[in-house]
Structure 1
Amino acid sequence: MRHRRYLPAALPAAAASLLAIVQGVATDTVKDWVGGSGWAPWAVEGALLALAVTLQVRASTTGEPGATAAPDELPRDVGDFTGREEELLELQRLIKAGSRTLLISAIDGTPGVGKSTLQIHLAHRVVGRFPDARLYANLRGADDDPEPAEPLAVLEQFLHSLGERRVPRTVEAAAARYRTLLAGKRALILLDNASSEAQVRPLLPGSASCTVVITSRSRLAGLEATHSLTLNVFTDAEAVELLTRIVGVDAVNADRQSTDDVVRFCGRLPLALRIAGSRLKHSPGWTMRDLSARLADERQRLATLASGHLDVRASFQLSYRELTDTEQRLFRLAAVAHTVDLPYEAAARTVGVPLPEARAALDRLIRLHLVESDAAGPGQIHFHDLLRLFAHERSAEQDDDSVRRSALGRVLEWYEEQLTAGAPRRSGWLDQQLENLLALVEQAAGLPAPLRPYAWRLAFALAPHLEEQEELAAWQATAQHAASAAAAAADGTAHAMALANTGRLHEARGEYARARTLLTRAVRQLRSTGGHLPLAQALYRLARVLRQLGELEAAHRAAAEAHRLHRGPAGQATCGPHERTCLIELGDIATARAQHDRAAAHYTAALDGDRAAHILVRLGTAHRALRRYDDAHAAFAEAAQRYQDDGDRAGHATVLEQSGITHDAAGDSARAVTAYRRSQELYRVLRQPADECRLNCNQAISLYRTGRTEEAVAALRDGIRRARRAGAADVESGAQLNLGEILLAEGDTRGAVRLLQQAHDSCRRTADAAGRARALHALARAHARSGDASGALSTLHAAVRSARQAHDASLTAGVLIDLGLAHRDRGEWRRAQDHLEDAVRTARSASAPDPGLLGRALMQLGGIESSQGHTGPAARHFARARDHFRAAGEQELQATTLMYLGRLHREADGRHDASAAAYDTAARLWGALDDRVQEARALVCVALAHARLGRLTAAQAPLTRAATLTDAHDASTVERVRNWVNSGGLPPYPDLPW
């Protein structure tokens, strides 16, 4: 009963709280109270409404003395409040969680970003949680009034609102009384536009049941136990939504392009959008296009964004006037560079102050949100578009043109210093600054002298990075700006270098003909304007392009001249980097010309002073082509070690793959399997499934060569499945092709045809003409194996068409050889000869003709001519084939061709001396190959030639040697020849079974 006398005094507060709830501003609180029951919200609210009205009536009729209504000073909510749902949910969650601890949410952000609007809207959403008091004060930290509100004056306001009639005269005493009155109460205090921590601190209640929400233009980092929330500008969707709420959906949707432009011109700043929408709404006859057109003019944009008491420029001016002279200069001049953001070092250059002094000033600008700290790149500042315009306005009023040009020149100079001093090699620096550099190149191209040359100087310094990263669109933009700037400056050398730079861009795109035209013009112009280094660099790039076009002799001349121009003084210990690149290019040209000895010499010279892994890989490849397998392995091993030391796993995997290819070429397939497996493991670590599958297929081929057919077949089938899962269509079709060829070699013609057809279909889907040609070539062999000569012939014709579409001369020549032989087997000699002659021409047209392939075509062509009795042409073809096989190092085919040539001389033209020489060379080659049967047969033919020439004694030695080598099958033939020689070499001529 003793509590009953307190009930009337509590009724007004309870009634106020309940009424607030049913008014819909504390729905989340209701849900907290009623839990997860199935009550309908309207039922709960109806019951609470009835109770609240009853309690309010009871309280009003009791007339309890001293009863006061709970103060509610919240400003009116914004009717068209838009967006900020995530921020609101975060703040509401924090308020809900802060019922037992003091929570202060300090909301800051760029002027005009909507801090006060969010603060007030938040207060109206959570008002039901604070039935005892809702207090509000504008601390005037951002108002036109130059003096912020005094804490004592604000405390006096709050104490009066809380029913206190006698206010203490000091801040300390007033604050103590303020905390006493709020002790245990659930009160919400809004402090808007705070200027400093010192202004705010006396206004903080001490009770954990209270919540304070502060807005400020600067970050109040000195406040204890503060949760800070920095507001960003709107998203595009939120910006359009706010405009729609102000001007209506029809005005927004009537011209969406103009609407998007208005959003962009306003920088998605809520204050600017609100002003723009207001101007459109209250300007009869205006359309969104009219508004967009006015905002498009940067000189008038800030003036357009003013309506009544709302003014973007004035909002910015309030923060600007708080700055010191140095801070104002830095704000104005840091905006002269049209960069996305600006590093502190470059910003310091604009005003010519030491970095520590500039850093302190920039930190102040960041605290006041006149610039933003770039989250993506610490140590950089970022301007909002409208603040940049404001900075330009202030600079136009306070700085003359020479000051602005000097500031911009120092920024351009700083960036050039970073590029030339090797800053791009620092981890990520150039990637981070690339957008800024692109903007500066564009800006410099439109400047007068002496700043215009920065356009091409920065563009040329950027080109290697853009080429390496394949940033071709950016490269094109910088190349165009460099060329236009050089042309406007009438600088002949710069214009020629711009031509060369654009030529490099076309080379990177694979547009070699266009690149050749531009680089040729650049070289011609540089010869007349002077400057050895630019000329040498243009010649080097021209050589690369000419090599790609197959103009190898011209490429060699250009690269050789570039090398001479770059070469250091006589006696220099090592070659410089430019000379080294020329040597590498000379090596690449020599490789393309199949001059592997020269290539190896150039690569070896390039290694002088810089044993780079990529040069060692080239050298290893050259040694492999020369069949210097030990030297190749040594080069690859050193390259692998260097890649491993550098942590370059991709490079290491590539070298291991090259080692496997070298082992295969040397006939050591077992070691090839090991190398491929190690490479495959690295690709697995690198998560490159396509390369991993490809190495699995290479490994399978090597397993097959070692006689491990079942393992090879299983590995290829697994490779096909894994490549399909990885989406590596080229690897899948390659595995299908290899497996089909293995099955064909093993006699499973039906299985081979099925897989080869799958490979063909896969290549057709991926538009891989070369893959289709290889699959058709193999299918033709399968048809021939099964006795379908017509099917084989038609398939070979299709293979030729696909190979020509692929522009692969060597592949085309190989198919043409088999097509010629197919017609030969049908007795169609003329067509066979035409295809073989075409094969020779096509093989010779390759950028790097394959001597082995040429040898095969000429050998078969010689056989056709010989069969038709054309002794002279046949002999010439065999002799050329022999030379090509010798160049290719294919001793077995060289020996075989010599046997054909020896027989032709013996039987067709009676040139027994030439026959003896051909057979004698063949015998030595067979001996080196340890082929006893073929060596014995060649020796028998040598003896026959000597005997026909009457040199019977000379014939005895090869016969004696042949007798020691001949197997039982050929022993009788050797004996017949010996008897014939001993009889004086008279007719009849002994018949040879070979």
Structure 2
Amino acid sequence: MDKPDKVCGKVLHGIARRGMSGSEPPNPADARTAAAFIDRMAELRLWAGKPSLRTLNRLGGTTTSPTGAATDALPTTTVSWVLAGKGLPRLPRMAFVESFVVACLTAGGESPEEIPRHLGRWRAVWQAITASAATDAGARPVRAYHQLPMDLPEFTGRQAELDRLGALGEAVEDATAPVVVTISGVAGVGKTRLVIHAAHRFAAGRFDEVQLWADLRGFHPEEAPAAASSVLADFLRLLGVADHQLPDGLDARAALYRDRLNGRRALIVLDDAATADQVRPLLPGTAGCLVLISSRRRLTDLDGDQTVPLVNFSTEESLRLLRWHAGPDRVRAEPDAARSVATLCGHLPLAIAVTARYLRSHPALSLTDLAGRLATDQRQLTGLSPHARSVRAAFDLSYRALPPGHQRVARLLAIHPGPDFTAPSVAALTALAESTAQTVLDDLLDEHLLDETAGARYRMHDLLRRYLTLQTQREDAQSEPHDALHRLTRHYLDRARHATNLIHPTETRRVTTAPSGPAPWQSPSEAVAWVEAEYDCLVSTVRRAAELPDAGPALAIELVAALYRPLANRGHSADRIALNDLAARLARQHGDRRAEAQFLEDLGTLYGQVGRAGEAVGHSYRALAIWTELGDLTGQRGCLTDLGNSCRQQGDHDKAIEYLQEALAISIDSGDRQGEASVLNFLGLTCQGTGELDAATEHLARSAEIYAELGNRLGEAIALANHGWALQRSGRPREAIPYHERSLEIFRALNDRYNEAEQHWGIGQARHQLGDTGAAGRHWHTAIKMLRDMRALDDEQAAELLTQKIPETPELIRLNT
């Protein structure tokens, strides 16, 4: 029996095998989530007598992809992974579900007349879950395996290259290693468009299981090329690896990435690669995968790479693109002028598209007049290559046609940190109302000066960024970029403060200034979703602000501090350490000892989280020395508490108690009741480790009491939860359950999903000790699925735990309790 069958068999709810003649097929009506829906699919297969994957494939027949190719409706690999929960919490495609249901009903002997009735139930539930997920967007993290940017409807030409790519894609089926293809060519020749278009054609059939995409920023004028380690972290999250389980080193991440793709049909698209060294760690290790790379360079030292060179359009391809944008009648009316325009654009797709968009927005302009303007502009561009003159002339044409306000926005977009931007960030950058900024973005999009990606985000071609940077220099507007970046940094800082207030409302040391206006989100999960979406821009903004004159470094320091809570437990350890180290150095250079101490304290915590204990303790001691010098008792208490907790986790309980008792004395003497409650909580946990359970419950009860008096619901819930664990270790599970239930209620209200899952686990353990195995199993399964959905467990771990009658407590819960 293969592993998916084992998993399916263990998670069923008492459904018997098909041997029970005449039984009604399972009804999915009670499924409310993607995970529950897939459990019902597994039950349906069992009801049908558990037909083999090959049988399901045969009964599922074929379907027609958007490219017109006939493909398997139920590929055996995809069925296996869906039923094992590998794609959770994303629903499989409707077409897949329909084929699967029909195949199972047929295998189970259901009459053809009844199949439509049953199929209607499955469709209705699928649609209800899909609608619910759309309404709840952002409420919880969702792994997405289908990452391709949208294709362009106006894509045209490149048939020979598409045929070549199609043949290479077909070769994946029989290849003994991943097929790696690089599309190379000069800037503006259409590499990204081709690679995305080809990827969509492949994804529609053979590679519908996993599609990953990354912008490697190999030739971005402002940003450094994307680090392979960071790209791997993003890919691993999408592939279900828990944040706290992401390895730190590049080699370790690459190895785990290859393991995750082993046996899977994956399409990986790497856009704008700089070098083979940047790409090499991102390649899968086994057959069945296709990697499409775009680069201005031929990556000749990449083993196994096959290059598809991309040259300028042919005349007919250029005219076809002109007809698409400008209209066939205009091109037909002036064929010679149309050919001249194409030639003056160097037959470069980017230049033709920009010029054609300009022509479309000027219906009275003839192609003859347009060709004359382009020729005049190019004659004035001396000292440039023909390629550069073509691109520059096309950009000049569109730029000069923009209203002055639009020109200003376009110039400022060229300096926006990060790979993309949104209307709110552009509004801040340009000092415009958000509605006005959105209008300008839409106009620039219409002029083909921007691309829109998923989630109302916009990107600018790096050639246009360079062009607009030169325009800024020509127009002597050098002071405005600094002012704009200051405004953008303040915008991100304000949003980060709002996020901190939602995620950790008791934080007052890292965020000392209240954010302006109402919060842009209603829940912590929405705030976290914003941080993740803006992550690259936030990191780039900190680094750019650090180099600005005047208030720039101070803003960078504040932004790093405000991001501490929102980025916690998100798996960005290396970047967080680098940012806090940068902020500590900036604070030291500017004589801000208080900020320096806070960042050193935070570095101690961050190094401890990645297992670098020596560096963690060193930073904590340096922070403690500064807090002592400043006479800041809260800072001293925080460092001592951290040192005590580190010792507790390392098993040195005596040293932990020594640090914690010193921290407790400081809290009591200074009247720091928040600090007192925090230290008492850690003392309770430490006493659990030493077996002093009465002392543990006493400390935790007092901690919860103080937190409740102060109105700190999060602290109260944590102390209540730990009290419950202490009672369980005392052999008093019945008394423990109310503590877990009270804390569960608070965590649920705060949308703290990790701690909510932990309480379900605690209740499950207590119920099991009391002999109530049914209730125990329900709470354990709820906890496992929640931990999986938030990436605290990876998919394989969750699937394995779901098969266990008495699941092993995950390491993350053991560590935190």
Q: Taking structure 2 as the reference length, what is the TM-score of the superposition?
A: 0.47
Q: Which has the higher contact order (CA 8 A, sep 6+)?
A: 2
- Relative to its length, the structure with more helix (as a share) is 1
TM-score, length basis structure 1: 0.40
> If you compute each CA radius of gyration, which structure gives the higher value, 1 or 2?
1
